Amino acid sequence: MFTGIITDVGTIAELEQQGDLRARIRTAYDTATIDLGASIASDGVCLTVIALGDDWYDVQISAETVSKTNLDSWAVGKRVNLERALKVGDELGGHIVSGHVDGVAEVVEMKDEGDSTRVTLRAPQALARFIAPKGSVALNGTSLTVNDVDGCDFGINFIPHTKEVTTWGDVKLGDRINLEIDTLARYVARLHEAG
């Protein structure tokens, strides 16, 4: 489990297709405190650490995960949002995030509003019904509040701090973004269907 509060921005150092995709991610985390088998959310995707070095860790990514996320666009040098798994007693500053991406949204509009940037994304139709104004979503692993919803489109506002400490300062029109809908929204919709 994660909170959607990004604690490091890593860099893809190596990519190798070995049946599954293997990625080496450079990080500022103290890798001496990371166990083999640990889960680290990388652009919102919960990935398992399979090897460690002084300033890097490796993950193995299945073809299924690549097909359901934007990880097919990873390239050496790309910056990625990172979050280590939640520990009992940690502050829950965002919302409960599983690291299981539901689909990919597309950035369809961007405009500056004061010091902030308003980004409009288009969700897959099957997921749009789970996104509500003032509800939570995780986008590339970042816990965010939805400002408005219009059909499959929804708006997020990024303050300067968020753009500085995550990869959101790098985003551009047409980017594909990993989308995880709020777990509570999923269950409320399910209960509504059953009722």
What DSSP state is assigned to residue 34?
P
Tokens 């499959």 belong to residue:
152
Instruction: Kindly give, in sequence order, each residue whose CB lies less than 8 Å from that of residue 141, ignoring residues fewer than 6 positions away.
Output: 2, 4, 6, 41, 42, 43, 44, 45, 81, 82, 83, 97, 99, 178
Question: 126-174 pLDDT, tens per residue?
Answer: 999 999 999 999 999 999 999 999 999 999 999 999 999 999 999 999 9
Instruction: Kindly give, in sequence order, each residue whose CB lies less than 8 Å from that of residue 49, ignoring residues fewer than 6 positions away.
Output: 34, 35, 36, 37, 38, 39, 40, 57, 58, 59
Copy the structure tokens of residue 26. 């450079």
Residue 188 has pLDDT above 90, yes or no: no
- Choice among 92-96, 136-140, 177-181 with the minimum mean pLDDT: 92-96
Residue 3 neighbours by CB distance under 10 Å: 21
Alpha-carbon distance 83 to 94, whole Å?
A: 12
C-beta separation of 96 from 1 below 8 A: yes
Residue 90 has pLDDT above 80, yes or no: no
Q: How confident is the model at residue 195 (pLDDT cuts 50, 70, 90)?
A: low
Domains and CATH numbers, the chain: 8-84 (2.40.30.20), 103-194 (2.40.30.20)
Q: Determine how β-strand 79-84 pairs with β-strand 39-42.
A: antiparallel
C-beta separation of 25 from 31 below 8 A: no
Q: How confident is the model at residue 48 (pLDDT cuts 50, 70, 90)?
A: very high
